[in-house]
């Protein structure tokens, strides 16, 4: 049990990464993961994202073309399989199996970061990579932040015994243990059955918000914009025409009281300048519609320039 999922990322980085090592990451990928890996002076091997998750063929090709020495620098494959942050996509069952084969062939562990698994609003559940792996090559991590309360700072790691022991030692040096009081609260939340009543409520609430945002995007975003339709989670990844820089546009959006995170922040290869992450979990449906309308108008105005 860790101090939120962010500590799980930090501990795994601490035990796997030496300076100049590399982590294979999706482009785009989670900001907090980039920051954890960079803290340990990691470089990156970048892999594209498709509608059914990481481009496994690209990963395989890149690994195959490397010298053995280069390959030994790759210490982890980091992936967010369900309702990707920021991209919203989900890794298909077939690709999960393929990823395990690659991990096996090149002896590179997979770090499976799965905070949104309980937040599915459509489509069928897919088994975790961890559950499909027979060789102890997958480190699974998740959190209570999306299904209990983020302020509790409760995350967890499931790993092979040898790795788990190393993480435990690192954890003791980092902060001895995770707050015990909040662990008791989480235990009560689970054993009382409250969690089983709460998750369907969260799903219903967020599903309505997702549908509203998709509807509003269709209605207000101009031609040349694209976005995906996530089956769950909290995020939609939208791209706008090339000529718009979403980082530069951000202050204007804030003036209109709309916020997003610009795409480049999630991309370690310098791409993403014309993308943005939209979060539909926070605002109510009315505000979502109004926000997307304002953002759509701003984009139209930019394109008209």
Enumerate binding residues for a second copy (CB under 8 A). Answer: 2-4, 6-7, 10, 14, 32, 35-36, 38-39, 149-153, 170, 172-182, 185
Pick 5 or 238: Cβ nearer a second copy: 5
Pick 7 or 112: Cβ nearer a second copy: 7
Report the side by side order of strands in the sheet with 43-50: 2-3, 154-158, 138-143, 110-113, 74-79, 22-27, 43-50, 53-54
Structure tokens at 255: 């003036």
> How far apart (Å, rounded) are the C-alpha atoms in residues 236 and 88?
5
Task: Write down the least CB distance from residue 203 to a second copy, Å.
Answer: 24
Non-local CB neighbours of 178 within 8 Å, separated by 6+ positions = 1, 2, 3, 7, 153, 154
Pick 184 or 248: Cβ nearer a second copy: 184
Element (H, E) at 22: strand 22-27
Pick 3 or 128: Cβ nearer a second copy: 3
Element (H, E) at 53: strand 53-54
Pick 155 or 263: Cβ nearer a second copy: 155
Cβ(6)–Cβ(178) under 8 Å? no
Task: Write down the least CB distance from residue 242 to a second copy, Å.
Answer: 32
Task: Write down the least CB distance from residue 20 to a second copy, Å.
Answer: 12
> How many other CB atoms are there within 10 angstroms of residue 172's CB atom?
10
Q: 28 preceded by cis ω (within 30°)? A: yes
Task: Write down the least CB distance from residue 41 to a second copy, Å.
Answer: 10
Task: Write down the least CB distance from residue 78 to a second copy, Å.
Answer: 15
CA-closest candidate to residue 148, choices 118, 180, 189, 91: 189
Task: Write down the least CB distance from residue 272 to a second copy, Å.
Answer: 20
Pick 91 or 182: Cβ nearer a second copy: 182
CA dihedral 53, 54, 58, 63 (to 10 degrees): -150
């Amino acid at each position: 049990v860790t101090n939120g999922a962010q500590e799980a990322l930090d501990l795994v980085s601490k035990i796997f990464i030496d300076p100049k090592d590399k982590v294979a990451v999706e482009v785009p990928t989670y900001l907090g993961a980039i920051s954890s890996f960079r803290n340990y002076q990691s470089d990156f091997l970048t892999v594209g994202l498709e509608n059914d998750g990481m481009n496994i063929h690209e990963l395989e090709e890149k690994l195959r073309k490397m010298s053995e020495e280069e390959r030994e620098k790759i210490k982890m494959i980091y992936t967010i399989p369900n309702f990707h942050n920021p991209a919203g996509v989900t890794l298909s069952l077939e690709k999960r199996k393929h990823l395990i084969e690659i991990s096996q062939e090149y002896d590179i562990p997979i770090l499976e970061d799965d905070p949104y698994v309980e937040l599915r609003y459509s489509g069928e559940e897919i088994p975790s990579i961890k559950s499909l792996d027979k060789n102890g090559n997958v480190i699974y991590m998740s959190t209570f932040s999306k299904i209990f309360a983020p302020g509790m700072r409760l995350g967890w790691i499931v790993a092979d015994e040898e790795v788990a022991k190393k993480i435990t030692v690192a954890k003791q040096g980092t902060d001895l243990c995770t707050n015990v009081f909040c662990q008791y609260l989480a235990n009560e939340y689970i054993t009382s059955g409250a969690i089983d009543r709460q998750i369907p409520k969260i799903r219903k609430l967020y599903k309505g918000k997702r549908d509203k945002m998709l509807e509003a995007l269709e209605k207000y975003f101009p031609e040349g914009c694209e976005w995906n339709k996530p089956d769950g989670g909290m995020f939609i990844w939208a791209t706008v025409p090339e000529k718009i820089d979403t980082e530069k546009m951000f202050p204007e959006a804030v003036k209109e009281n709309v916020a997003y995170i610009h795409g480049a922040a999630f991309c370690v290869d310098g791409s993403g300048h014309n993308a943005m992450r939209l979060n539909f979990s926070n605002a109510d449906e009315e505000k979502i519609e109004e926000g997307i309308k304002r953002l759509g108008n701003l984009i139209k105005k930019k394109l008209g320039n």
